[in-house]
Structure 1
Amino acid sequence: MKRLDHIVLWIKDPQASMDFYSRVVGLAPVRFAEFAAGEAPFPSVRVCEDSIINLLPMTNVSGTESFTKVVGSAGHPVNHVCLAMSRSEYEALDRRLQEQGVDTSARLHHSYGARGFAPQGFYFADPDGNVVEARYYE
């Protein structure tokens, strides 16, 4: 069985990103204490049991390119990451984002994804301008 293991987002401020993804979006921190102590190269947030989002500081661009041996590949934004959730989680996330002044007005209706058509979704930006889509399936 194939699964999506992780996605990498480039960030400027690890604390601000961790705060946004954990407190506002509601994802659990992974290795943030270890990162803060200098024991891990980057923190992550858990999307589900078997998927995480790695939050790589922009200061790691040259090291990442050296490691992957693909020059010019690091530091670029991804078009967007999509988080699927229950309808109640979706509505709660929308409320939390709006309370924090995050624009959620880019709305989707009947859009296709990994589990078929989702009745609703919306896009929002994180503190670094990475675009995230939230959606729910019936």
Structure 2
Amino acid sequence: MSIQLNHTIVWCRDKQTSATFLTQILGLPPATPFGPMLVVQLGNDVSMDFYDNDEFSSQHYAFLVGKDEFDAAFARVRERGLPYWGDPGKHRPGEIYHHNGDRGFYFDDPDGHLLEVIVRPGASS
């Protein structure tokens, strides 16, 4: 069997707020409870399991999407008036990036985790 990522725990102050934020921005189904966590299922059989914790460090999570999903997520970020950047260091505010034909942008979730949405050339919805 090949080794695959199954899930990651996302430490947050309020799992409901954080999971709902992600599902709404990315257009995903609502999170489902699993023990003390709220699980957001992604399209590649990997889940993000939101778990309340007062102490954590900011992390980075990148999401590869199709063109339509990219446009929809970007529109939701702008509709909410959320800051976004064209670089992970947050030196290019209000921009998206273009690298080797990729398009993407960075933005923060409610707990300061740096999220990235990426679409690759030829990606379909």
TM range (shorter): 0.7 to 0.9
Q: Distance in 1 between matches of 2:107 and 2:73?
A: 11
Describe the shift of the 1:30–1:118 C-alpha distance in structure 2 as closer, same or farther (beyond 3 A): farther
Give the TM-score normalised by structure 1: 0.71
Give the TM-score normalised by structure 2: 0.77
Per-residue displacement from partner, 1:24-60 (whole Å, max 9, x unpaired)?
Answer: 222223423x6xxxxx11111111141111111115x
Q: Which consecutive aligned stretches of 4+ in structure 1 deviate over 3 angstroms post-superposition?
A: none
Residue aligning to 2:65: 85
Q: Distance in 1 between matches of 2:32 and 2:47?
A: 11
Identity of aligned residues (%): 27
* Unpaired stretches in structure 1, ≥5 consecutive residues: 35-39, 62-74, 111-116
2:97 matched to 1:108?
yes
- Aligned pairs for 1:1-138 (under 5 A) are 1-32=2-33, 40-58=35-53, 75-78=56-59, 80-106=60-86, 107-110=96-99, 119-138=102-121
Name the aligned partner's letter for residue 76 of structure 2. Answer: R
* Unpaired stretches in structure 2, ≥5 consecutive residues: 87-95
Q: Kindly name which structure, 1 or 2, has the bigger radius of gyration based on alpha carbons.
A: 1
Aligned residues: 111
Residue aligning to 1:65: none
Q: Answer 1 or 2: which has greater helix percent.
A: 1
